[in-house]
Amino acid sequence: MQLQEILYTQGFGTRRVCAGLIQQGHVQVYQGSELVQVDDAAAEFVAEGLTFRAQGQDWPYAAKAYLMLYKPAGTECSQKPSTYPSIYTLLPSPLRLRPQKAAVQGVQAVGRLDQDTTGMLLLTDDGQFIHRMSSPKHHVPKVYEVTVKHPVTDPQIQKLLAGVVLDDDPKPVRAAACEATGETSLRLTLTEGKYHQVKRMVAAVSNRVEALHRSQIGSLVLPPDMAPGQWRWLSAQDLAGLRG
């Protein structure tokens, strides 16, 4: 694949902009551990496994982008936020400007977290992956660390496990797992993704969510060394675990 095309697929601008970056000396390519200057926009490279540096930023080629983001509080999972900053401002511009794949323009969050909720978000420009991870048919478990206003009681946990009725659906909604982790905290595992589901389920057992954090999706656990606002690429091993 031509180097200008590689840069274009990775979101570094139009083909003309990418060609200009290369011709102006702003792009180097890793060959082994050596960084080699490339000035020919039409130079051919094997894209898979290639790492290049554009405008001082190292970038691994990815046919499709799969990311984990530690969402901080006070951010919205929207491209057009209404009150708080968008989570997408936490990503470098190439990820936001990747060319459209089917109906997916740039990377998109797989599901949403409320502005005051923290923790793991997955993002991708792979529409099939978004559907698989979001579809209730696949029952992908999501684990939440919940801080509540009143002490957690065993009857509350049993009700959450047995199922509670929310106001928009007569069918009970059950936690896949639920355990107290402190006097006013619990760990809740869900396999559905209804609107404000954790807050509404906790309210249905006469308690109130004070803080909410998503610590795990499927087999993927938010790394302890990640800080709010940080992101990283998902590895092949991460993806294999998520896809089961």
Active-site annotation, residues: 114
Helices (H), 120-212: 127-134, 154-162, 197-204
Contacts with 114 (C-beta within 8 Å, 6 or more apart), sequence order:
196, 199, 212
- Indicate the residue type of 225: D
Backbone angles phi, psi at 151, to 5 degrees: -55, 140
Q: Beta partners for 143?
A: 189, 216
Question: For residues 219 and 133, is the Cβ–Cβ distance under 8 A?
Answer: no
Question: Residue 185's beta-bridge partner residues?
Answer: 147, 182
Q: Which residue type is seen at 81?
A: P
Residues contacting 47, CB < 8 A, separation 6+:
1, 6, 9, 61, 63
* The dihedral sign for the CA sequence 233, 79, 109, 126: negative
Written as six digits, the tokens of 103 are: 């109906």
| Residue 177 contacts residue 192 (beta carbons within 8 Å) | no
